[in-house]
Amino acid sequence: MSMLELKEVSYSAEKDGEAFDILHESSFAVPKGHFMAIVGPSGCGKTTLLKVIAGILEESAGCLYWENRDLADDAELDPAEVGYVPQFSVAYEHLTVEESVESAVELRVTTVNRSHVEQIADIVIDQTGLEGISDRRVKVLSGGQKRRLGLAMELVSNPRLLLCDEVTSGLDPRSENEIVHLLHSLSEIDNRIVINVTHSLSNLELYDSILVLHEGCVVYHGKPDAADHYFSVESTEDIYPTLAQRDARDWHASWQKHKNSYYESLDFTEPASRDKAIGEDPAPTDTQSLEDSLQEADDRLPGPWRQFAVLLRRRFTILRRDRGQLFLQAALLFGFPLLVILFTPGLFESNQGMGIPPMPNQLTPTEIINSSNMANEMTKAQDIAGQQFRLGVLISGLAMFQVILLALMGSNNSAREIVAERPIYEKEKLAGLSPLSYLMSKVTYLALLCLAQSAWMAGFVNHFTVMPGSLTQQFILLFLVTASMTAICLAISSLSRSTEQASLLSVYLVGFQLPLSNAVLALPDVVATVTQPFIAAYWGWAGQLDHIMKETAYDVGIEKAIPTGLSPFEICVAMLSAHVAIGLFVTYVGAHRHRWE
């Protein structure tokens, strides 16, 4: 009896405004414990067909059945039932093989304790032949070892349907042979179906059946050794050139006429009765122990909080291992506040040493008139006015310098955070990862970064400059500026198709902060009204100056230096909080969208 069945499944896309079929009325059945290859020329729809089966893409027409259950009506495949192995590695380079597999276990299986996690990981590591390299980091693995790791990460839930997309692509013949033999052995475990998409026509004798696709049409599905007869070729390598000699729809129509006779010879019996005397392909010996280990676990996926904790711990492990990123974060954290001190004009001009000089009091008109030397008093008044203006400019520049540097730090925090790991995230989401757990882990990790960056900036700068006003209020604004830019760039990262695109957009966003803040260039009122709501730097800068003016004697100098009115502190806090909320909402939307390559 068929476990997986497709009936006239099509998948359409638009090109130049017209719909065309990438898959055309594909029909076939796959029994339990079956090892099947999907082969065909490049661009014939093999990967699309696999993604439709996996539920990544939704069919345009037709029906898919799993154990006689219509997946369109009843439900999609349970994440524990299906494993999907993409063509390229979807593991973090800075984790070890063992850590990668254990992370997969913790995200997909509700385990009893830590030893239970390790037990399941050890079993699948042994099954895939990775036991000798379990302590190696992913970045040093060979191509074949990375494909084995991808398989191991999918086996942790013991799926009954294993879908492999070009997992032998780019491998040397020996590695390809080893992977195909491994897949063959995995198909003998617990009546598991293994479907392997491949362009290669090597090792076909290991498969129970092969399905040949040509321009989206199924043109053959039967025993590998019968394909030569059906296509009237001397060897399997001649199949692809032969396909090009006829239209794909003609091949499809021909197959519909002849498929019954080929299906009659196709052995759809249980795997125990199959004759797979290939040799050199022993099935793993610890299958039952994996099944027993999983029976100890809860059938449900781990809860959102459990997944959140696993993701957060993994993120900090990656940061600790990634020396380049760790050094950059440390350089920004400690270097940027130092730049504020070294490159803010006026901090070294006071006779009292580094710091902002006290604001001198202006002479009143009465004092000038009653003075014995009115001319000297008027000159002195002008000097005091000049000092007040310069102090206003100094405080304004100091506030803006901190804001711009923290905006840059916020952009660096998150511009690549999601887009750089999108293939891994999509793979884990297919396996049951909650997008909310993923977003929570990112927000927590980035919030801690923002907290450290803004706290150090506020504390360090205040220590050396004795910045007027409340340090608490300064910190609140600086934190919100960093958080708002981090959240907006995280949203960009969740929507971008490439790291280059996300980085470029984030750089532009930071680059426009200073000129559009209305702090340096006096913008026309119409322009300022339109742009200011979107410029985090303005709200961080204006909020600091507003509370300084309200709480200190520097209001006179700031009013002289700033020709435009400033928004109140409370409004600035509200606007920056709104930036954070909008950025997180867009990120949540972007994280829910499918973004498969």
Domains and CATH numbers, the chain: 2-300 (3.40.50.300), 315-347+395-592 (no CATH)
List 213's β-bridge partners, or say none.
218
Single-letter code of the amino acid located at 515? P
Q: Could you please report the per-residue DSSP string of 547-587?
A: HHHHHSTTHHHHHHH--S----HHHHHHHHHHHHHHHHHHH
Q: Choose the weakest-confidence range: 181-190, 317-326, 346-355.
A: 346-355
Task: Look at residue 285 in the predicted model and tell me its pLDDT.
Answer: 47
Give the separation between CA 90 and CA 423, rounded to whole angstroms: 6
Give me the sheet containing 82-85, strands edge to edge.
Answer: 82-85, 161-165, 193-197, 35-39, 209-214, 217-222
3-state secondary structure of 514: coil
pLDDT, tens digit, 9 for 90 and up, residues 284-299: 445 556 776 766 666 6
| Two tokens, residue 139 | 């970045």
Percent of the chain at pLDDT exceeding 90: 53
pLDDT, tens digit, 9 for 90 and up, residues 469-522: 889 999 999 999 999 999 999 999 999 999 999 999 999 999 988 888 777 766
Q: Choose the weakest-confidence range: 119-123, 266-270, 395-399, 521-525.
A: 266-270
Q: Is the pLDDT of residue 547 over 50?
A: yes
Query: What is the Cα gyration radius of the chain?
Result: 33
Give the separation between CA 174 and CA 176, rounded to whole angstroms: 5
Burial 33-64 (b: 16+ CB within 10 A, else e): bbbbbbbbbeebbbbbbbbbbbbbbebeebeb
List 13's β-bridge partners, or say none.
20
More confident residue, 388 or 227: 227
The upper half-sphere exposure of residue 536, i.e. CA atoms within 13 Å in the direction of its Cβ, equals: 33
Largest alpha-carbon pair distance within the chain?
Answer: 121
pLDDT band per the 50, 70, 90 thresholds, residue 323 = very high
3-state secondary structure of 6: strand
pLDDT, tens digit, 9 for 90 and up, residues 421-466: 999 999 999 999 999 999 999 999 999 999 999 999 999 998 888 8
Task: Look at residue 272 in the predicted model and tell me its pLDDT.
Answer: 39
pLDDT, tens digit, 9 for 90 and up, residues 200-209: 888 899 999 9
Task: Look at residue 373 in the predicted model and tell me its pLDDT.
Answer: 58
3-state secondary structure of 280: coil
Give the separation between CA 91 and CA 322, rounded to whole angstroms: 14
For the chain, count helices (H), then strands (E). 21, 10
Task: Look at residue 553 in the predicted model and tell me its pLDDT.
Answer: 79
Q: Which of 66, 64, 57 lies closest to 27, judged by CA?
A: 64
Task: Look at residue 74 in the predicted model and tell me its pLDDT.
Answer: 63
More confident residue, 230 or 392: 230
The upper half-sphere exposure of residue 108, i.e. CA atoms within 13 Å in the direction of its Cβ, equals: 28
The upper half-sphere exposure of residue 157, i.e. CA atoms within 13 Å in the direction of its Cβ, equals: 28
| Two tokens, residue 341 | 């001190």
Strand 18-31 and strand 2-15: the pairing is antiparallel
CA 530 → CA 519, 541, 577, distances in Å? Answer: 15, 18, 19
